[in-house]
Each structure stands twice: as structure tokens, then as C-alpha cells.
């Protein structure tokens, strides 16, 4: 099985990945013993690459790392993945081109896992939902407000909102709307009114067009703006975040910020995704 986008999953499949994650947190069994993985990651990747490599090796697996540009050759990606299937059990790829990741997964037996593209970031967002589930048992009843441009983070939050029936608000300038309003996705250009009903504020690094004082004055998430949210509200900025741009220094230093440890579960969620794609059932093997 491939893991390319959240929207291709069913609710029960995400719950199964979360169930596996619960078990993996205290796991010591070498569930990936004898399994090898081909990883395509840029040198600039820190969190996603580190958590995937450690996650694989801690379960007894091994991996070979390539730069993502390796996939930009003239050779058909079907042939690339077919050859890789002789020696590796899965491909984990971080490449800006979503189409290339999809092509890599077509008509091939080797599992392909999308570690990030410019269009979506499925592992990261699934991990965020899992971490929120650990913090708040009512995570699926909360209102999530994303403040920022279009891009892979809001695309993935919108997708997970549709699958898990989460309420996702998107706040930005009108040209950054990513679709029509519906039950799970609501777009608005007015921040203050939306914050009053918000439980979790989400941000993403801003595109260059939005890095200006006018945007910051209207949309930057500050300590004062977080005080407008519902009681117990949390701030989850997608890393890397930039103090003084999408978020202020004072809000990162406040109790609203979920903290760096919030991302600790990324490793376990990615392990669970690997097990799920390879159809390795913990209850059967250990």
C-alpha cells in the first residue's frame, strides 16, 4: 500500500494508524528487521529525515539515502521504482513535485510514502492530529484555524478535516483561498472574528509576497491575538517558523505554544505509516 495523500484514506484507516502509533511509543521489538528502505531527501531536511531514519533503524530496518534530484533524470519513474523493488521494501520520498511522487507509485509493488511535496505534507499533519489527540481527547470536536497563504500545510489540513470531519478555518488574503467553503473548510479574510471560536491556531512560513508590515499588522499571531481565542487554546506553528513574521516572539514564549516536544510523535506516526503500508501487524508478529 502507498501513502501519498491523506484524502485517499478512510477514517478507520487513520484510526488504525493512530492505534499502531499508540503501541509503537513503548515498542522495543525489531518490527522492521530485514527490511530496507530507499530514502530521497534534500540535505536541508532536518525533522522529517531525522525522524524517518531513526524510526526505521530503531525498529531494526536499514536505509539508503539519495538526494531527491536523483528522480529528475529522463528515466521513467515506473522503471526506477520497479528496479528499486528488487532490493528495497519501500521508498520514502521528499520531493517538491507531487506529480513525480504519484508517478513513482504507479503500477509498482514497492510501497511509496510521501514525506513532503510542495502540494501536501501528509505525514506531518497526521502527526499533528495524533499529538492533538494525545493532548485533548475531544480533538475531533475542536475548531482549527490556519492563518497563512496557500500551500502544502493548509492543503493537508483541509484533507484531514474532510476525512476526520474536523472544522478547519483558513484566514488569509482572498487570493489565497484554496477552494469553496463547505462543512469542513471555511475561508475568511477577517481574523479577529474567527479567533473567538478557535481552539487551535495553525501557521506556516509565509510566502515572500506576504512578508511585509501590512500583512503582519493584520494577520501575525501574537500573544494578544491568542487571548481572543477560546479558553485553553493552543498554537501549533508548522516548523520552521519565523519569529517576527507569521508569529511573534512573545507568543512563542507563552503557554499557548504547544512546544517543540509536540513533534516528538512524528517519529512514531511515521513508523506506524510504514508498518501500515507494509501490512506488518504488531499483534500478529509480536
The mean pLDDT of 203-232, rounded to a whole number, is: 97
pLDDT for 12-40, tens place per residue?
Answer: 999 999 999 999 999 999 999 999 999 99
What pLDDT score was predicted for residue 105?
93
Give the CA distances from residue 135 to residues 68, 86, 223, 279, in Å, rounded to whole numbers and listed in that order: 35, 42, 21, 28
Of 4, 276, 240, 280, nearest in space to 115 by CA: 4
What average pLDDT does the structure give for the chain? Answer: 96
Residues 6+ apart with CB under 8 A from 83: none
pLDDT for 219-265, tens place per residue?
Answer: 999 999 999 999 999 999 999 999 999 999 999 999 999 999 999 99
The set of cell numbers assigned to 125 is 499533519
Is the model's pLDDT at 68 over the cut of 80?
A: yes
pLDDT for 74-95, tens place per residue?
Answer: 999 999 999 999 999 999 999 9
The reported pTM is 0.95
The mean pLDDT of 189-217, rounded to a whole number, is: 97
Residue 78, burial from CB neighbour count under 10 angstroms (0-12, 13-18, 19+): middle
The mean pLDDT of 153-162, rounded to a whole number, is: 98
Give the CA distances from residue 96 to residues 108, 117, 145, 199, in Å, rounded to whole numbers and listed in that order: 21, 4, 25, 31
From edge to edge, which strands make up the β-sheet containing 234-237? 185-188, 167-171, 143-147, 200-203, 234-237
Cis peptide before 240 (omega within 30 of 0): yes
Indicate the pLDDT class of residue 102, thresholds 50, 70 and 90: very high
The set of cell numbers assigned to 284 is 500478529
The mean pLDDT of 121-133, rounded to a whole number, is: 98
Q: How far apart are CA 188 and CA 169, in angstroms?
A: 8
What pLDDT score was predicted for residue 142?
98
Of 118, 93, 98, 100, nearest in space to 40 by CA: 93
pLDDT for 44-53, tens place per residue?
Answer: 999 999 999 9
Of 156, 151, 207, nearest in space to 185 by CA: 156
The mean pLDDT of 210-223, rounded to a whole number, is: 97
Amino acid at each position: 500500500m502507498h501513502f501519498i495523500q491523506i484524502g485517499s484514506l478512510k477514517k478507520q484507516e487513520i484510526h488504525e494508524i493512530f492505534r499502531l502509533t499508540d503501541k509503537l511509543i513503548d515498542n522495543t521489538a525489531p518490527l522492521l528487521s530485514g527490511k530496507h528502505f530507499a530514502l530521497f531527501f534534500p540535505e536541508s531536511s532536518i525533522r522529517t529525515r531525522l525522524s524517518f531514519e531513526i524510526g526505521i533503524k530503531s525498529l531494526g530496518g536499514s536505509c539508503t539515502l539519495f538526494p531527491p534530484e536523483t528522480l529528475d533524470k529522463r528515466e521513467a519513474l515506473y522503471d526506477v521504482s520497479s528496479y528499486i523493488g528488487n532490493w528495497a521494501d519501500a521508498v520514502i520520498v521528499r520531493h517538491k513535485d507531487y506529480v513525480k511522487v504519484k508517478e513513482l507509485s504507479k503500477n509498482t509493488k514497492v510501497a511509496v510514502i510521501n514525506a513532503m511535496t510542495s502540494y501536501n505534507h501528509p505525514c506531518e499533519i497526521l502527526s499533528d492530529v495524533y499529538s492533538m489527540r494525545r493532548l485533548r481527547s475531544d480533538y475531533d470536536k475542536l475548531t482549527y484555524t490556519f492563518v497563512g497563504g496557500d500551500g502544502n500545510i493548509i492543503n493537508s489540513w483541509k484533507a484531514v478535516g474532510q476525512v476526520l470531519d474536523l472544522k478547519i478555518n483558513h484566514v488569509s488574503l482572498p487570493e489565497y483561498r484554496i477552494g469553496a467553503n463547505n462543512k469542513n473548510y471555511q475561508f475568511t479574510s477577517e481574523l479577529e472574528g474567527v479567533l473567538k471560536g478557535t481552539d487551535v491556531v495553525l501557521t506556516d512560513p509565509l510566502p515572500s509576497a506576504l512578508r511585509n508590515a501590512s500583512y503582519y499588522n493584520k494577520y501575525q499571531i501574537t500573544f494578544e491575538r491568542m487571548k481572543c481565542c477560546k479558553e485553553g487554546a493552543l498554537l501549533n506553528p508548522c516548523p520552521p517558523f519565523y519569529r517576527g513574521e507569521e508569529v511573534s516572539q512573545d507568543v512563542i514564549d507563552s503557554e499557548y505554544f504547544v512546544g517543540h516536544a509536540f513533534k516528538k510523535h512524528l517519529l512514531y506516526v511515521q513508523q506506524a505509516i510504514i508498518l501500515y503500508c507494509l501490512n506488518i501487524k504488531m499483534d500478529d508478529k509480536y
